[in-house]
Amino acid sequence: MMKSNRNKQFYIAKNIMDSVFIKNQPIDYDKWVDFIERNNEDFIWRENTEDGKKSLSNINNVPDDFKDRVLASLNKVCCFKEFDNKKDAYNVSISFSKDNNWISIQFIRTPKLVDLKVFLAMAKHLDAFLLKNGREIIDERVIEGL
């Protein structure tokens, strides 16, 4: 397990996020989709979850001001990993942000070594870095030291 509580934020980005004034290089959306679909035993798209299916079936009840946002979240930009039956929730949520040029990874539990390995593989697939809190690069050396 990584010495990190669940409040730590992880990202995949092309650059270290050491300043709000530095614009990250874009991450290839098609490569993102490819990685998630190749690893569909680990990940599930939001639109394929029970919550996502309910959102889509109730889309006509969503106020027009929010409809685009709900539909956008159901279009391969958000996925989850590791469903916890006791909590009735996924332990990991992953979101692709085209506006910010990063992928955010949120844990509702402490990240495990296996998680970091999967997300490092994702980062490499996207020619990007796995970052803790936007500044600390998580690479093979860091993982081997855990």
- 8 Å CB contact between 91 and 108: yes
Domain assignments of the chain as residue spans, ordered by start: 10-18+25-144
CA distance 59 to 141: 46
Q: What is the CA radius of gyration of the chain?
A: 16
Q: What is the pLDDT of residues 31-53, one digit of tens each?
A: 999 999 999 999 999 999 999 89
Query: pTM for this structure?
Result: 0.87
Q: What is the pLDDT of residues 111-144, one digit of tens each?
A: 999 999 999 999 999 999 999 998 999 999 999 9
What is the overall mean pLDDT for the chain? 89
